[in-house]
Amino acid sequence: MASERKFVTENIRRHLLREYMMAKVGRAGFGGLDVQRTPMGTRVTLMTERPGLVIGRRGEAIKMLTKAIEEEFKFNNPQIEVQEVPNPNLNAQIMAEKLANALERGWHFRRAGHSTVRRIMDSGARGCQVVIAGKLTGARHRTEKFKEGHIKYCGQAKLDFMEHGFATAKLKPGVMGITVQIMNPNARLPDEIDIIPPPPEAAPAVEAPKPAAEMAAEEKKAAEAVQALKKEAAPAAGAVAKPKKPRKKKAEGAPEGPTPATTPSGTPASPGAEEKKVVRKRKKKEPTDAAAVPAKPTTEAITEVKPEAITLVEPKPLAEVPEKKPEEKKAESPPVEEKKEA
């Protein structure tokens, strides 16, 4: 039980320190308090809207706070560090104190509540809720809520992303309690999922253009190779080619045109005689297949027939067929014949 009582007394002492700092640093805009125990002593981090008011001229105000913390709350060697709040409109404690000051100055609670919500949402918060409880319009106590955006009321999401602030406004009818809850703009809820698109297909690698020096060297090598092949092919072509027959030279004074024809004895032929061209007849191919050879027409011997040997044969009578009787025609009036004149 001794350890449990130690934890309880430590938390009570920290809560009393928080209330004391809120009362002392209210004008500077109290934004939060953090206490850490170190081997060198106790580090107290104080977050305010205007750090200059907390430090004071030549650090006199912060020295007085350090001495009070050490004497009243029995912290060992306290060291106070003051930090400035980057965006006061997203700090729940600062906004609660500002709303309380507005109500004390005489603002209507609805006007003050809506203006606070609008300032918080314009600063980029995902959601906020303002609750004002007390004697608002009459003798009875009631509660008014102003909310906008996304708010978490329970679970781990509330512990991680919701910031809580509380302040009191002292009016003639009584005391009003003001609660402000703000969701962090960078909050990422469990139901928010990002679908990662598939990686794009790799484009085919494009060969980089070769420099001009390399291209010139390759062209030079190709030209040298072509010249070497031509030199190797030249002697081989000369050995295979047949030598051409030399042409006969014509005798001087010979007439131009075709040479006159000569006889086998060597004498020139008559001028009117025409040259006979030798025509070779093509031999017909004999068919090898016996079936393809056409058959020769056969001649049959014709014998003479004597007239005595010819006998006449009488035709047999045909079977008698009963004749059909002609159908009787109806009697018709005889045609009138005109008499011809003699």
pLDDT by residue (tens digit) across 313-338?
566 555 555 555 555 555 555 555 55
Quick check: 36 pLDDT over 70? yes
Tell me whether residue 73 is exposed, middle or buried, using C-beta atoms within 10 angstroms of its C-beta: 0 to 12, 13 to 18, 19 or more.
middle
Query: Higher confidence at residue 267 or residue 223?
Result: 223
3-state class percentages of the chain: helix first, strand second, coil last, to nearest 5? 35, 20, 50
Tell me whether residue 29 is exposed, middle or buried, using C-beta atoms within 10 angstroms of its C-beta: 0 to 12, 13 to 18, 19 or more.
buried
What confidence category does residue 22 fall into, taking pLDDT thresholds of 50, 70 and 90? confident
Place of tokens 């011997």: 301
For residues 168 and 176, is the Cβ–Cβ distance under 8 A? yes
DSSP 32-100: EEEEEEETTEEEEEEEES-HHHHH-GGGHHHHHHHHHHHHHS--SSEEEEEEE-S-GGG-HHHHHHHHH
What confidence category does residue 273 fall into, taking pLDDT thresholds of 50, 70 and 90? very low
DSSP 104-162: HTT--HHHHHHHHHHHHHHTT-SEEEEEEEE-SSSSS-EEEEEEEE----SSHHHHHHE
pLDDT averaged over every residue in the chain:
78
By DSSP bridging, strand 41-48 and strand 78-84 are parallel
Question: What percentage of the chain reaches a pLDDT higher than 70?
Answer: 67
274 in helix, strand or coil?
coil
For residues 73 and 33, is the Cβ–Cβ distance under 8 A? no
pLDDT tens-digit readout, 142-156:
999 999 999 999 999
Give the other-Cβ count within 10 Å of 45's Cβ. Answer: 14
Query: Higher confidence at residue 159 or residue 252?
Result: 159
Question: What phi and psi values does residue 183 have, to the nearest 5 degrees?
Answer: -90, 135
Sequence ranges of the domains in the chain: 1-85, 86-187
Confirm or reject CATH 3.30.300.20 for domain 1-85, answering yes or no. Answer: yes
Confirm or reject CATH 3.30.70.270 for domain 86-187, answering yes or no. Answer: no
- Calpha distance 75→66 (Å, rounded): 10
Place of tokens 């703009």: 185
What confidence category does residue 134 fall into, taking pLDDT thresholds of 50, 70 and 90? very high
pLDDT tens-digit readout, 79-133:
888 989 989 999 999 999 999 999 999 999 999 999 999 999 999 999 999 999 9
pLDDT tens-digit readout, 209-259:
767 888 888 888 888 988 888 888 877 666 655 566 666 665 555 555 555
186's CB contacts (< 8 A; 6+ apart) are none
Angle at CA 164, nearest 5°, toward 129 and 74?
160
Query: Higher confidence at residue 213 or residue 308?
Result: 213
For residues 37 and 24, is the Cβ–Cβ distance under 8 A? no
